[in-house]
Structure 1
């Protein structure tokens, strides 16, 4: 199931507005999008828009929040805890790429547009990054992972991995590439970061 399919829940008018914003961002970018663009694509009115969202930025925050929740669910569902750890890494990265392929503008907007929205958006960034860190820690808390990392994956390591992957995919999409282009290098990076830690120096 794609990110867009997972997003289709709840209030139909709210969902139409979120879809309308997503379509506009995909076509002309968030910074060129107006409320008028969103309501035209959603086939609704400005009044309906403001009944659901206080501003275009608030609508973007809601859209990205739901997209990231859907992505986390998809990644968790794709990973088999009984598989070898390096296979689990590939399963997780493939699921991440699949969701990014369905709406690559999500990753770009998360990195490029959210920081322009101020304190509420910064709170969302922290909240969602924490959610991704928890996902990594939960996925690596199985017997297969304990065999190579008895102490688990700490927050700092997870943040380095997640931040690097997001910047890589955003840069790739901005330069005209596809998320799938970075599948192999992303798997290699994740295996290198999350694999057995180096032996302590004598």
Structure 2
């Protein structure tokens, strides 16, 4: 499904495209899915689970002096590397997803809120170490996710997914600014 949508676009992908790539029969496809939308939503769900695992299991960035910053940088680095390793998924999530309709958009929004919650928890733990950090409105966490998503979308749309890992420093700075956390020198 991901390969078909990445190549054909969601609007023009067909069950025939999917079954040809998967080397299964139409019957086998319909034994598992009610149609393209359910197959696409299942694939997106799986992608969100992988993203969550990458973010929460990312190694800390050893170049960061502050342990809190090491966690944030490590997570962003892992996420950008994942997008670069999986350009078809990146294309589906960042470019094709809206064409799949409201259920897909709601699924993407759930994923964004999940990551925003991870950022909120990260910031709460970091602020406990840094009492000088002022509280931020909860919406800032979702805004930080949106900022990262917008930059990733721009690179994916230009076919520059492989360049994403090099942006981890820029993206770390953006997230820190949105979350009103000091940017280290």
Query: What stretches of structure 1 of length at least 5 have no aligned partner?
Result: 1-20, 198-202
Q: Which residue of the other structure, out of 82, 100, 123, is the alignment partner of 1:140?
A: 123
Q: Which residue of the other structure, out of 54, 69, 72, is the alignment partner of 1:74?
A: 54
Q: Which residue of the other structure, out of 53, 63, 71, is the alignment partner of 2:33?
A: 53
Task: Using structure 2 for the length normalisation, give the TM-score.
Answer: 0.81
Query: What stretches of structure 2 of length at least 5 have no aligned partner?
Result: none
* Contact persistence 2:6–2:96 (CA under 8 A): no
Give the whole-Å Cα distance in 2 for the aligned partners of 1:104 and 1:196: 31
Equivalent runs, 1:1-202 vs 2, <5 Å: 21-80=1-60, 84-142=67-125, 144-148=126-130, 154-177=137-160, 178=162, 179-196=164-181
Q: Shift of the alpha carbon at 1:192? A: 2.1
Q: Shift of the alpha carbon at 1:108? A: 3.3
Give the whole-Å Cα distance in 1 for the aligned partners of 2:173 and 2:3: 32
Q: Shift of the alpha carbon at 1:126? A: 2.8
Give the whole-Å Cα distance in 2 for the aligned partners of 1:169 and 1:122: 17
* Contact persistence 1:79–1:88 (CA under 8 A): yes
Give the whole-Å Cα distance in 1 for the aligned partners of 2:49 and 2:66: 24
Give the whole-Å Cα distance in 1 for the aligned partners of 2:111 and 2:41: 11
Task: Using structure 1 for the length normalisation, give the TM-score.
Answer: 0.75
Give the whole-Å Cα distance in 1 for the aligned partners of 2:13 and 2:69: 41
Give the whole-Å Cα distance in 1 for the aligned partners of 2:180 and 2:165: 23
Q: Shift of the alpha carbon at 1:26? A: 3.6
What is the count of residue pairs matched by the alignment? 176
